[in-house]
Amino acid sequence: MKILVISLAGIGDTLIATPLLHELRANFPAATIDVLVMWPGAKDLLEHNPHINRVFQKNLMKCGRLEALRFLWSLRREGYQLSINTHPQSRIHYRVAAWLAGAPVRISHEYECFTWLDRWLVTSTLPQDYTRHAAENNLAVLPLIGAQEKLPAHELEIFLTPAEDKWADDFLTRAGLTDKKWLGVHVGSGGTKNLALRRWPLENFIELSQGLLTWQKDFPILFFGGPEEAVGHEKIRSQLSNAIFPPTKNLRQVAALLRQARAFLSVDTALMHVAAAMKVPAQLVIETPTWNRPIEPFGNSFTLIENPVVAGRGLDFYRYDGGDIKGTREELLVCMESVKVANVFNKVKQVIN
């Protein structure tokens, strides 16, 4: 059997699909299992995964329609018998990709934005469920392909190499952090659609960090991020002389460092899922308008820092219907500003203690 798993949404969504990949291998040990992803970071996280054969990475949004069509049409030559669109992929473009890849059996969850065309593009659907984690929504696909859950437990999987672990050890040694407890922080978030508006204000992160470093001087703070966070990191650097910025080149190096973190603070974004996969002991998440059950840290305990505007009503703001977060720019900025520094400070103190 040749299986193509399509995970073209976020980087974190691809990491959430790793329990399904493991189950597919357990059920079909001789199958060819390939994965199609959009983002280089998603490909990074799947490197050295023993349950898959190959990863195809193509940014279908940036390469142009003709190039995207040629690439997807080329997948037909692979002769896949089955393709699975992982959860959550609500936009019709993901099912067009499955149709172009040409597997005769094409499975997708069914979303609120579905039309007759979505149903025509795939051969089997199952309802997506907001009360279940996205990893569990993915595993619900198994009965449709004559498979079952064979593993005793499921977790997000990143397979780091000894060289990557050594890189993390060497960095912590150079930074004087060996055997120290430290807090990891990610100030960014995904930037597609209007998702950047769910970020907690950068000034709040700076004020929080200043307070934490005053409260406990021997508890270093490491700021993680990529090019999207470069401007924010420079502003932090200018106001926090003792902030630490690990020179990570990819998400695998981030994961290797987070494996040794005491705590990690972020909104719901890809690094939140990386922290969950690395079992960071004290994980804290600031509630945003996109927060809901399917994207909680999977397999890791966490502390939710409540947003008084969202107040558990994430589905009123954001659903898997292909659309943006509901609300104007001003309304969403006010929403995230409603999470006060003092509340986050107290939560961090509690989990560290």
Tokens of 115: 């039309």
What is the length of the chain? Answer: 353
What local confidence, expressed as pLDDT, does residue 138 receive? 98
**How far apart (Å, rounded) are the C-alpha atoms in residues 20 and 188?**
28
pLDDT tens digits for range 258-297 = 999 999 999 999 999 999 999 999 999 999 999 999 999 9
Longest dimension (CA), the chain: 61
Give the end-to-end CA distance of the chain in Å, rounded to a whole number: 51
pLDDT tens digits for range 337-351 = 999 999 999 999 998
Return the closest-CA partner of residue 275 out of 287, 260, 288, 289: 260
Omega before 88 cis (within 30°)? yes
Q: Examine the pLDDT at 26 and tell me if it is beyond 80.
A: yes
Give the three-class secondary structure for 200. coil
What are the b/e assignments for 62-72, b being 16+ CB within 10 Å? eeeeeebeebb
What local confidence, expressed as pLDDT, does residue 128 receive? 95
Tokens of 166: 């050594």
**How far apart (Å, rounded) are the C-alpha atoms in residues 163 and 267?**
29
Give the start-to-end residue ranges of the domains of the chain: 2-145, 162-352
Q: Examine the pLDDT at 3 and tell me if it is beyond 90.
A: yes
Q: Which amino acid is at 333?
A: L
Domains 2-145 and 162-352 fall in the same CATH topology:
yes
Tokens of 352: 């560290």
The pTM (predicted TM-score) of the whole model is 0.96
Q: Count other Cβ atoms within 10 Å, centred on residue 19.
A: 25
What local confidence, expressed as pLDDT, does residue 137 receive? 98
- Band of residue 217 on the pLDDT scale cut at 50, 70, 90: confident
Which CATH number is 162-352 given?
3.40.50.2000
Tokens of 258: 């987070």
pLDDT tens digits for range 77-98 = 999 999 999 999 999 999 999 9
For residue 90, the surrounding DSSP H or E stretch is none
pLDDT tens digits for range 107-124 = 999 999 999 999 999 999
**How far apart (Å, rounded) are the C-alpha atoms in residues 209 and 240?**
8
What local confidence, expressed as pLDDT, does residue 352 receive? 84
Give the three-class secondary structure for 274. helix
How high does pLDDT run on average in the chain? 95
Which CATH number is 2-145 given?
3.40.50.2000
Q: Examine the pLDDT at 191 and tell me if it is beyond 80.
A: no
Give the three-class secondary structure for 282. strand
pLDDT tens digits for range 135-170 = 999 999 999 999 999 999 999 999 999 999 999 999
* Inter-CA distances, 280 with 14, 51, 271, Å: 19, 24, 11
